[in-house]
Structure 1
Amino acid sequence: MTSSTIAFVFPGQGSQKVGMLAAAYARSEAVRATFAEAADALGYDVWALVQHGEQETLNLTATTQPVLLTASVALWRAWREAGGPDPAMMAGHSLGEFSALVCAGSLEFADAVQLVRKRGEFMQTAVPVGEGAMAAIIGLDDDSINKVCAEISAGTAGEVAAVNFNSPGQVVIAGHTAAVAEASHALKAAGAKRALPLPVSAPFHTQLMKPAGEQLAQALAELTLKAPKIPVVHNVHAETETDPERIRSLLVEQIYSPVQWTRCIEHMASAGICKIVECGPGRVLSGLNRRINSELQSYSLEEPLALSQALEELAGQAAGSATDTE
């Protein structure tokens, strides 16, 4: 059964934490099976890392990406295991787009978990450590941020650009370390409330990531992609696609293109979505989504009680407004 008013969204890097999904793992066979499948694909005990590893290890990009994808897919499978309805749409923030495509049936999980480990490695090595940086700009409009970044990039400090349009008043910039520092200073002078350096060691979603995109394209060429069974709104252009080859291209473009998260959520709302389920650890996206559109209702699935509450409310609504029955 599919509900025309529900969407699922999948978080990206930053939502990982040691001990996540402990209660869900104890409760759900689907969660346990998903982590076991990830361990088989990756060659190490993913669950042990998530529960007993060091946070510093979990934060390494090549580790974070497969771990978060596994956690998100595990919660999606727990939702399905509990009889939850299919959403009308999906989207994922950066890495989360891969989680969405797995859950939509476009990518096989075992392929995807190995792919995003490589993606993390490609992204980390595209720019030497120390040469790239990112910062969150709070309280300034998109046009002003783009203008300042263009002015800084035209100078001698290097390249800097807006790369994550997370919500109105929250935009992430990235680029060469000196350029990000200069832009942060200039943006505060232009009226930004805060310019917060982010604890990352690479300038994700900038043109500096093009070498990583080339490597990802080669890895993707070896995999089979299918048309998604549930439409996925893509980060690059905030639209859905059905052609697997177009999806393949967008996954490559995404690595060096801005994440248009605000537009993705606006696209969903304009299509009639009014309830959004965050399928992954934490509630980062729920906070962003409320700032984008305060009328959207948010749900989470990480804790079994939250899953049960979402199921109780959304399954009943889906039964009353179903658009399809499997």
Structure 2
Amino acid sequence: MKTAILFAGQGAQHVGMGKDFYAEYPGFRRVFDLLPEEQRRIAFEGPAEELKKTENTQPIMLAFALGVYRVLQEHGFVPDMAAGLSLGEYSALAAAGVFDDKTAVELITFRGKQMAKASEGTDTVMSAVIGLEREAAENACREAQSEGDVEIANYNCPGQIVVSGTEAGVTACERNAKELGARRCIRLEVSGPFHTSYMKPAGKALAEYFRGRTFGRMEFPVVFNCLGREKTGAETVRELLVRQVSGSVYFEDTIRYMAERGVTRTLEIGPRRALSGFVRKTDRNIETMSIETTEDLGKVIAWTEKQQ
């Protein structure tokens, strides 16, 4: 039996996240203390509007994820494979040894600032289209282009696809989707048109920032968002991270790829449990576990020690 670890992305954050882990686990504290004091305060105390800002959400989410993972490592946990949703991919790569914790926080802080900058003045929205298959959702987007920009940002799982673009484009896409059989469309509370062509300036900035940086070798496989599979020898981590910021996230493909390679269990790290829901909707044969609270972490530590 193989276990894959999954790291949550933006949208899962909530005020108070990490406070209980910080009080109880020195290993978590060492990572979370890499954040500026102001961001730790925002994570623990809010306000929610500050936590929702991309430039704050991304480093806080990464520090939470890596802090929990380092505690698991101390107890002997080693996954067979890893992936993360959007910013969670940086946590997955750090867990696999590609970045150290300090470098990971620096990289994601830069990414968050550049994505926030690329979002300024865009007047865009994101919407989750529920109950429509991939081809139909793509058709709904294509037919909406005459009314405004709209692109598919995330293929999360069967029947859940996220679109993003201008208000007019997304509204037209939602209308088309419902005509094609979508059950509903849910507007998302996010601060930018992530994983669309609007983020290309952020990708260009990342490419410059990565220039000359040396990345470590992976200690276990990471499945990449923009591929839905592992990278080939001809592909580089820096190239894929640049592509990822403005390209669609193929999370459903990621789960199917893992299942094909023998993964029978996933462990999600992050506030809320959205990724575990995506896994269950994609492949019900995969067992899901998640760590959202210190109680969850204690249970996984006990499970890990029993496996040894």
TM-score of the two chains, using structure 1 as the length reference = 0.89
| Residue 146 (structure 1) aligned with residue 143 (structure 2) | no
Q: Which runs of 5+ in 2 are unaligned?
A: none
Deviations 1:130-152 (A, max 9, x none): 52211000011110000121122
**Range that drifts further, 292-301 or 305-314:** 305-314
- The residue type paired with residue 204 of structure 1 is F
1:56 maps to a residue whose letter is E
Instruction: Give per-residue Cα distances to partners, 1:27-79, cap 9 Å, x unaligned.
Output: 2110111111233xxxx343222112211100000110000000000000111
**CA root-mean-square deviation:** 1.7
Cα distance, 1:118–1:309 mapped onto 2, change above 3 Å = same
Instruction: Judge conservation of contact 1:225–1:244 (CA < 8 Å) in 2.
Output: no
How many residues align? The count is 308
Q: Quick one: which of 88, 97, 109 aligns to 1:105?
A: 97
Q: Does 1:124 align with 2:124?
A: no
| More deviation, 119-128/212-221 | 119-128
CA contact (8 A) 1:72 1:281 kept: no
C-alpha contact 1:10 1:279 (8 A) present in aligned 2: yes
**Aligned pairs (5 A) from 1:256-271:** 256-271=246-261
Instruction: Quote the residue 1:212 is aligned against.
Output: 202
Contact 1:227–1:244 (Cα < 8 Å) also in 2: no
Q: Report the Cα offset of residue 167 of structure 1.
A: 0.7
Q: CA deviation at 1:258?
A: 0.5
Give the counterpart letter for 1:51 in structure 2.
F
Q: CA deviation at 1:244?
A: 9.8
- Kept in 2, the 8 Å contact 1:228–1:242? The answer is no
**Residue identity opposite 1:132 in structure 2:** T
Aligned position for 2:65: 72
Question: 2:292 is matched with which residue?
Answer: 302
- Measure how far apart 1:220 and its partner are: 1.7
Tell me which stretches of 4 or more aligned residues in structure 1 moved more than 4 Å.
242-245
CA distance in 1, matches of 2:133, 2:48: 34
Letter in 2 for 1:177: E
Shift of 1:24: 1.7
Give identity over the alignment, percent.
35
Partners of 2:213 and 2:13 in 1: how far apart?
A: 26
- One-letter amino acid of the counterpart of residue 290, structure 2: S
Aligned to 1:163: 153
Q: Over residues 202-238 of structure 1, what are the superposed CA-to-partner deviations in whole Å (9 max), with x where a residue is unaligned?
A: 2111122111110111112253212211110000111
TM-score, length basis structure 2: 0.94
Equivalent position to 2:275, from 256, 277, 285: 285
Higher relative contact order (CA 8 A, sep 6+): 1
| Distance (whole Å) between structure 1 residues aligned to residue 235 and residue 246 of structure 2 | 18
Structure 1 counterpart of 2:48, which letter? Q
